[in-house]
């Protein structure tokens, strides 16, 4: 697998969604300190399953979520996604069939964390299982962060063994062994629980046997009690049936008597109903007669009211005529008063107009003086503010200088204290016995000369191997580079061709062109060319005309019946040149940069570009616009148009933007693709020859190294003695040299600090003098500004006063106008009122003449006679109704007497019904109790003997007493006894199965230990061999190896023994920081040689190295990059040169990281192309 993409969102400083593409084998991440580079390493470690917050440089897991910045709010979600290229199918488990694998982790602010593989929700264990044995993981050796190099080399032997296990792929065995041990522990716990249960179950069986005997006796008594109870229920049922029959017979007799009395009552009610109907009819007749009398009385009242109304109306009309005359006189007097007021307000309006004109002239005069006063006051204020800012700047400079002076004083004190400590340490350095060291070194030199003779032949072969390997590697890199370049060229060519095809993507326009048979006509951009750098300029001038169609004859456009549905330009491709030459004004026309592969397009393009000139920059164009003739334009390479009076800023048109640049790029890419394909075929043949040579040399070297390794083991004993003797001498000498160097640096720093202190003191004196002078000048300017402000306030007050008087005068004019309008309206209303009153007076006289009452009095006499006749008829109907009412009352009394006889019969019937119902319910109750009982058997028992009710009740009481005497009985004891016996049988079988399972699991652990031991020992030997080869490559000599601290490799620790060239140190801790770093790198890379991880992350591992060692490290990385992808963070320029791709991390917005990726090879190619073009 190879890491191809990293996607980060909301993780630490990467708040915005960030996509980092990693197409190369060697990728460098660069940027200033604190920009967030190491956050990328933390993101990779986090998504691979890291669960320790300290390993991610935080206190809790929520610290990895972006917590906000000065301009950004905190986010609630962090996610990191890694996309691996698995085209070779090297992924573990079910994911090996996927060509691309996506691993994603999401963490929410509430602590909810989730893992995903190819967008499927998985467990954290599924993530770690994919990378078991690959060197990848949250704590694997493939991720080397800041400070981890020193931790690896100084780690405890047990911690170092973990890295060796990961390289050996034993981590998956370790996880399986841990799972097996957990299973054994669980099985053992289960077995103990089963034994405890069996012991408890045996005790339960004893108690249950006793309880089962009691339960059997209880059930026998209960059976007898049930039989006696059922006999008692049967006897009660028979007695209830007898009582129910007796009460039913009595109910039948009482019902007959009740029905006879009810029939007599119904006959009397029928007679009563007939009499009541006659009473109702006579009452209706009475009501009708009474209604006729009421109608006569109403008619008399109406006539009397009509006569009274006529009299009232005559009186009212007379009074209205009198009032109307009086109102006419009042309105005439009111009209005279209103006309007088109108004349008064007209005079007031004329006087107010004169006052308005006077105040307007005064207000204009005051307003003219106000801007002058405001301008003078503003100028003084700005001058005062400027002086205050200058004074503030000087004061801030003085404070800064004082702070710097205090800082320098503290630095001088610190330097002096450090100098004293170094002098004391130099005087206390220990002395070393040099004679014993010289003797031991002499002995080692003799042995070294003996070994040198044996290594000469090996050295010659080793000198040939790097050359062969370098040739092979160079050839492979060249092949990969050719393949990559070819694929990049083909991909870019395909993308550009696809973009060119999408220029005309308007469906409606395509249909219109097809309708008019124009879709095959060439476009203008296909027939012209433009020099590099001026594409945007030509697009800005031509716009949609760049996509114009070439018509054979322009007159054909007149025959189109409908207009195009989108913007469209056409031109005549007849080659006619009827344009005028451009005027020479000393500027370069844009047309000079245009080429015409098709000469027929030259006339139209020249015409469209007429009057368009070029300028290199916008500023230069603005300075040259005065030279432009009417209608001419200047255009910049960015497409901005500059006219004589305007500037048009260019924004690309999505439809045709970039078509010219893409056209030229497509032609160049097609030629490059053909050349690279030829070079690739030749390179494949050369690679096969170089590979064959390399393998031949490598086989010979392997034989010689085996012999050299045996001699090296014999030398090791004497070498350890030399290392112990040289340890004290080297440490003392190195420390003395270091102290001398530090003392020299302290002296130089102290002198520099003293010089800066004096320079700051001089600058502070100058600033104090300048601040005093500025203070005097600021006070003078403040007084002048205050004077101008006072004059401005006075002028504003005068202006406001005149404006107020003017507004008052204008308001009074408006008041007069409104009063005059109201008075005129009142005069009009009074005239209308007088006309209405005179009309009302005439109508009153007409109505008085129409009123007469002779007819109404005659109608009143006739109505009185009719009322007397109707009173006599009403009296006769009332006498008849009284006789019928007496008969009705007599019949009602007889009916009530009959009803009183029915009540005792109903009560008797109800009482018998209740008793019958009680007996029936008792019968049903006993029948329900006997519902599930065989009554035939019970009847045979009753008939076989003389059984009485009291005897049955006594027997039932005795049986209940016996059952109660048994006390508390476990009725479920029989079932529990059977269940317990079955459970004991099951538990015995389960205990046997658990014992066999434990034996099986212990056997599995033995097999895992054997496989792990064999694999780990083989890995230990291989890593030792690779370390012996890698260490001299990085150091230019020397030797290193791994040493086990115990006999059992599964739990033994691992130590690193390393001796750089010329040193015989006995411990790794005696090495310098750079030597430790190189040793750790050699160890990690040795593990990579054995088990290459998909990728390796290096976080500033070159920080302690000098340039020479950095170059060696780079060469080694370049060699190993053939099998492993390297991603490193570095500030070293030498390391940066190694990268095929650089990913820059910036923090222009404080607290927020952004990335910028650069393909180095592509950048170099573009530079070469631009150099060739120039």
Average pLDDT, rounded, for the chain: 78
Q: What is the pLDDT of residue 1145?
A: 92
pLDDT digits (tens, 9 = 90+) for 1082-1131: 888 887 777 677 788 888 888 888 888 888 889 888 888 888 888 999 98
Q: Are 230 and 938 in contact (CB under 8 A)?
A: yes
Question: Which range scores top for mean pLDDT: 46-60, 852-866, 938-952?
Answer: 46-60
Burial (CB count within 10 angstroms: exposed 0-12, middle 13-18, buried 19+), residue 535: buried
* CA–CA separation, 207 and 190 (whole Å): 26
Q: What is the pLDDT of residue 342?
A: 77
Higher-confidence residue of 320 and 376: namely 376
pLDDT digits (tens, 9 = 90+) for 307-316: 777 777 777 7
Decide if 1157 is inside a domain. Answer: no
Decide if 798 is inside a domain. Answer: no
The answer, yes or no, to whether residue 380 has pLDDT greater than 70, is yes
The answer, yes or no, to whether residue 10 has pLDDT greater than 90, is yes
Q: Are 99 and 86 in contact (CB under 8 A)?
A: yes
- Please give, one letter per residue, the 3-state secondary structure of 629-669: CCCCEEECCCCCEECCCCEECCCCCCCCCCHHHHHHHHHHH
* CA–CA separation, 668 and 93 (whole Å): 46
Q: What is the pLDDT of residue 65?
A: 92
Question: Quick count: other Cβ atoms within 10 Å of Cβ 791?
Answer: 13
Residues with Cβ < 8 Å from 869, sequence gap 6 or more? none
Helices (H), 930-1042: 935-944, 949-965, 973-1035
Residues with Cβ < 8 Å from 633, sequence gap 6 or more? 541, 611, 612, 613, 641, 642, 643
Closest of 155, 61, 79 to residue 119, by C-alpha = 79
Decide if 656 is inside a domain. Answer: yes
* CA–CA separation, 286 and 694 (whole Å): 146
* CA–CA separation, 1082 and 1096 (whole Å): 14
DSSP bridge partners of 107: 78, 113
Burial (CB count within 10 angstroms: exposed 0-12, middle 13-18, buried 19+), residue 446: exposed
Decide if 618 is inside a domain. Answer: yes
pLDDT digits (tens, 9 = 90+) for 883-896: 777 777 777 777 77
pLDDT digits (tens, 9 = 90+) for 260-305: 777 777 777 777 777 777 777 877 787 777 777 777 777 777 777 7
Task: Give every strand in the sheet of 1095-1099, ordered side by side.
Answer: 143-144, 1095-1099, 1125-1129, 26-30, 1141-1146, 1154-1159
3 state DSSP class of 1119: helix
Helix (H) / strand (E) element for 1055: namely: strand 1054-1059
Q: Are 415 and 704 in contact (CB under 8 A)?
A: no
* CA–CA separation, 44 and 7 (whole Å): 10
* CA–CA separation, 1087 and 1016 (whole Å): 12
Decide if 771 is inside a domain. Answer: no
Decide if 581 is inside a domain. Answer: yes
Closest of 337, 260, 233 to residue 932, by C-alpha = 233
Closest of 582, 588, 574, 639 to residue 608, by C-alpha = 582
Structure tokens that stand for 609 in this block: 């570009």
Looking at residue 180, what DSSP letter applies? H
With cut-offs at 50, 70 and 90, classify the pLDDT of residue 106.
very high
pLDDT digits (tens, 9 = 90+) for 413-444: 878 887 888 888 777 776 656 666 677 777 76
Q: What is the number of H-type helices and E-type strands within the chain?
A: 19, 22
Structure tokens that stand for 533 in this block: 């750098």
Q: Are 475 and 687 in contact (CB under 8 A)?
A: yes
Higher-confidence residue of 1093 and 114: namely 114
Decide if 584 is inside a domain. Answer: yes
Q: What is the pLDDT of residue 114?
A: 92
3 state DSSP class of 1039: strand
Domain containing 637: what range?
509-551+575-660
* CA–CA separation, 37 and 47 (whole Å): 16
3 state DSSP class of 85: strand
Backbone torsions φ then ψ of 89, nearest 5 degrees: 70, 35
Decide if 516 is inside a domain. Answer: yes
Closest of 588, 734, 682 to residue 1073, by C-alpha = 734
* CA–CA separation, 1042 and 1020 (whole Å): 8
Lowest mean pLDDT of 365-369, 376-380, 491-495, 534-538, name the range: 491-495
With cut-offs at 50, 70 and 90, classify the pLDDT of residue 1003.
confident
Q: Give me the DSSP letters along 303-353.
A: HHHHHHHHHHHHHHHHHHHHHHHHHHHHHHHHHHHHHHHHHHHHHHHHHHH
With cut-offs at 50, 70 and 90, classify the pLDDT of residue 169.
low
Q: How far is CA 923 from the centre of its chain?
A: 78
Percent of the chain with pLDDT strictly greater than 90: 3
Closest of 1019, 1090, 1079, 1087 to residue 1050, by C-alpha = 1019
The answer, yes or no, to whether residue 950 has pLDDT greater than 90, is no
Question: Quick count: other Cβ atoms within 10 Å of Cβ 508?
Answer: 10
Closest of 76, 36, 134 to residue 1087, by C-alpha = 134
Structure tokens that stand for 969 in this block: 């009985």
* Count of domains observed in the chain: 1
3 state DSSP class of 137: coil
* CA–CA separation, 860 and 862 (whole Å): 6
Q: How far is CA 1163 from CA 1158, 1167, 1170, in A?
A: 7, 6, 11
Residues with Cβ < 8 Å from 105, sequence gap 6 or more? 46, 47, 79, 80, 81, 113, 114, 115, 116, 127
Average pLDDT of the segment spanning 177-189: 79
Burial (CB count within 10 angstroms: exposed 0-12, middle 13-18, buried 19+), residue 1130: buried
* CA–CA separation, 908 and 253 (whole Å): 11
pLDDT digits (tens, 9 = 90+) for 586-620: 788 877 788 877 777 778 777 787 888 888 888 88
* CA–CA separation, 981 and 202 (whole Å): 9
């Amino acid at each position: 697998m190879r890491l191809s993409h990293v996607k980060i969102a909301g993780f630490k400083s990467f708040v915005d969604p960030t996509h980092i593409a990693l197409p190369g084998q060697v990728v460098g991440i660069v940027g200033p300190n604190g920009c967030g580079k190491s956050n990328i390493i933390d993101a990779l470690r986090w998504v691979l399953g890291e669960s320790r917050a300290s390993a991610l440089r935080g206190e809790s897991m929520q610290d990895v979520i972006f917590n906000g910045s000065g301009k950004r709010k905190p986010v609630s979600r962090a996610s990191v996604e890694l996309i691996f290229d698995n085209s070779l199918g090297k992924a573990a488990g079910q994911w090996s069939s996927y060509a691309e694998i996506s691993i994603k982790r999401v963490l929410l602010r509430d602590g909810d964390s989730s893992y995903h593989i190819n967008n499927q929700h998985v467990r954290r264990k599924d993530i770690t299982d994919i990378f078991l044995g690959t060197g990848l993981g949250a704590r694997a050796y493939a991720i080397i962060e800041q400070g981890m190099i020193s931790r690896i080399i100084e780690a405890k032997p047990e911690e170092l063994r973990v890295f060796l296990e990961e390289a050996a792929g034993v981590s998956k065995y370790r996880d399986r062994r841990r799972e097996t041990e957990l299973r054994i522990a669980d099985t053992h716990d289960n077995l103990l629980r089963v034994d405890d249960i069996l012991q408890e179950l045996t005790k339960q069986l004893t108690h249950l046997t006793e309880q089962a005997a009691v339960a059997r006796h209880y059930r026998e008594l209960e059976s007898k009690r049930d039989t006696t109870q059922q006999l008692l229920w049967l006897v009660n049922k028979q007695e209830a049936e007898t009582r129910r029959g007796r009460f039913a017979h009595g109910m039948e007799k009482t019902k007959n008597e009740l029905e006879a009395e009810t029939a007599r009552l119904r006959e009397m009610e029928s007679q009563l109903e007939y009499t009541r109907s006659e009473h109702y009819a006579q009452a209706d007749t009475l009501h009708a007669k009474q209604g006729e009398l009421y109608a006569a009385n109403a008619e008399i009242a109406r006539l009397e009211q009509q006569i009274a109304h006529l009299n009232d109306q005559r009186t009212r009309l007379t009074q209205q005529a009198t009032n109307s005359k009086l109102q006419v006189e009042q309105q005439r007097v009111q009209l005279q008063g209103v006309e007088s007021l109108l004349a008064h307000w007209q005079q007031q309006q004329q006087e107010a107009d004169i006052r308005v004109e006077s105040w307007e002239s005064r207000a204009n005069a005051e307003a003219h003086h106000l801007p002058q006063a405001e301008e003078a006051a503003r100028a003084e204020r700005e001058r005062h503010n400027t002086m205050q800012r200058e004074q503030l700047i000087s004061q801030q400079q003085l404070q800064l200088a004082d702070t710097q002076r205090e800082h320098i004083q503290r630095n001088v004190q610190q330097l002096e204290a450090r100098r004293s400590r170094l002098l004391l340490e130099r005087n206390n350095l220990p002395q070393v016995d040099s004679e014993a060291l010289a003797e031991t070194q002499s002995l080692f030199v003799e042995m070294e000369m003996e070994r040198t003779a044996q290594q000469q032949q090996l050295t010659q072969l080793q000198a040939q191997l790097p050359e062969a390997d370098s040739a092979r590697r160079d050839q492979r890199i060249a092949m990969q580079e050719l393949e990559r370049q070819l694929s990049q060229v083909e991909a870019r060519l395909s993308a550009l061709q696809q973009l060119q095809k999408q220029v005309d993507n308007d469906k409606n326009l395509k249909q219109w062109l097809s309708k008019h048979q124009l879709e095959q006509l060439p476009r203008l951009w296909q027939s012209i060319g433009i020099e590099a750098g001026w594409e945007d300029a030509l697009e800005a001038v031509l716009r949609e005309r760049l996509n114009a169609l070439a018509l054979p004859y322009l007159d054909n456009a007149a025959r189109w019946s409908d207009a195009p549905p989108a913007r469209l330009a056409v031109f005549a491709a007849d080659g006619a040149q009827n344009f005028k030459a451009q005027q020479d004004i000393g500027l370069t026309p844009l047309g000079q940069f245009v080429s015409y592969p098709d000469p027929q397009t030259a006339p139209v393009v020249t015409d469209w570009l007429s009057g368009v000139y070029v300028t290199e920059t916008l500023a230069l164009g603005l300075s040259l616009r005065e030279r432009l003739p009417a209608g001419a334009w200047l255009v910049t390479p960015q497409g901005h148009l500059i006219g004589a009076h305007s500037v048009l800023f260019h924004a690309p048109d999505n439809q045709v933007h970039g078509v010219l640049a893409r056209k030229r790029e497509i032609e160049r890419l097609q030629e490059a693709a053909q050349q690279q394909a030829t070079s690739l075929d030749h390179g494949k043949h050369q690679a096969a020859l170089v590979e064959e040579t390399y393998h031949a040399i490598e086989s010979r070297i392997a034989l010689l190294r085996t012999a050299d390794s045996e001699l090296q083991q014999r030398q090791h004993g004497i070498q350890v003695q030399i290392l112990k003797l040289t340890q004290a001498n080297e440490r003392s000498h190195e420390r003395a040299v270091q102290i001398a160097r530090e003392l020299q640096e302290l002296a130089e720093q102290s002198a520099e600090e003293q010089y800066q202190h004096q320079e700051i003191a001089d600058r502070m004196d100058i600033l104090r003098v300048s601040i005093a002078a500025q203070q005097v000048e600021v006070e003078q300017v403040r007084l002048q500004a205050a004077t101008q402000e006072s004059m401005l306030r006075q002028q504003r007050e005068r202006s406001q006063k005149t404006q107020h008087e003017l507004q008052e005068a204008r308001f009074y004019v408006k008041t007069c106008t409104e009063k005059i309008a109201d008075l005129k309206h009142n005069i009009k209303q009074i005239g209308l009122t007088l006309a209405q009153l005179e009309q009302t007076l005439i109508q009153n006289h007409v109505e008085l003449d129409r009123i007469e009452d002779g007819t109404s009095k005659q109608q009143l006499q006739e109505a009185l006679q009719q009322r007397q006749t109707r009173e006599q008829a009403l009296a006769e109907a009332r006498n008849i109704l009284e006789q019928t009412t007496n008969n009705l009352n007599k019949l009602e009394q007889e009916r009530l007497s009959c009803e009183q006889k029915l009540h005792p019969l109903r009560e008797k019937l109800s009482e018998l019904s209740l008793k019958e119902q009680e007996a029936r319910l008792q019968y049903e109750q006993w029948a329900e109790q006997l519902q599930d009982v065989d009554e035939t058997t019970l009847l045979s028992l009753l008939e076989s003997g003389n059984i009485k009710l009291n005897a049955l009740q006594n027997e039932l009481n005795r049986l209940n007493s016996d059952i109660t005497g048994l006390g508390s009985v476990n009725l479920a004891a029989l079932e529990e006894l059977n269940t317990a016996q079955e459970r004991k049988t099951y538990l015995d079988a389960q205990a046997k199965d658990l014992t066999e399972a434990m034996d099986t699991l212990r056997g599995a652990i033995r097999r895992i230990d054997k496989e792990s031991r064999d694999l780990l020992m083989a890995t230990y030997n291989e890593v030792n061999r690779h370390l012996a080869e890698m260490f001299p490559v990085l150091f230019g000599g020397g030797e290193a190896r791994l040493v086990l601290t115990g006999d059992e490799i599964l739990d033994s620790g691992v130590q690193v023994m390393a001796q750089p060239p010329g040193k015989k140190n006995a411990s790794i801790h005696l090495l310098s920081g750079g030597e430790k770093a190189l040793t750790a790198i050699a160890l990690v890379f040795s593990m990579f040689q054995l088990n290459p991880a998909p990728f390796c992350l290096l976080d500033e591992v070159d920080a302690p190295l000098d340039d020479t060692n950095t170059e060696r490290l780079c060469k080694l990385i370049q060699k190993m990059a053939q099998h492993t992808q390297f991603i490193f963070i570095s500030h070293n320029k030498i390391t940066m040169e190694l990268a095929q791709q650089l990913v820059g991390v910036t923090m222009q917005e404080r607290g927020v990281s952004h990335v910028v990726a650069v393909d180095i090879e592509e950048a170099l190619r573009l530079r070469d192309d631009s150099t060739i073009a120039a």
